Amino acid sequence: MESLYAILTSIIFLIIVILTVIIGWYLVWKLFLSRFRFVRELFEAKSQEKSSSTQPRRSKRVPVKKE
């Protein structure tokens, strides 16, 4: 019975730690990291790579006008 209690306590502890990390990351993202364009572009690039497998890639370069 004591070993069952120890296993159950360990599982509950891990769930609490994982939930705390997830909630903390979400709050940091919403309150701080989402304001930085560089960080947003990193996450958007990863999501675009998954969806761009069916779509051709476009170049984001802007042509330079020579005088």
Q: What residue segments make up the domains of the chain, in order of their start? A: 2-39
Give the model's confidence band at 64: pLDDT under 50 very low, under 70 low, under 90 confident, else very high.
confident
pLDDT at position 41 is 81
Distances in Å between the alpha carbon of 33 and those of 40, 42, 63? Answer: 8, 11, 31
Helical segments of the chain, H only: 2-31, 37-51
pLDDT at position 51 is 63
Sign of CA dihedral 5, 7, 10, 11: negative
pLDDT at position 30 is 86
10-35, pLDDT tens digit by residue?
999 999 999 999 999 999 988 888 78
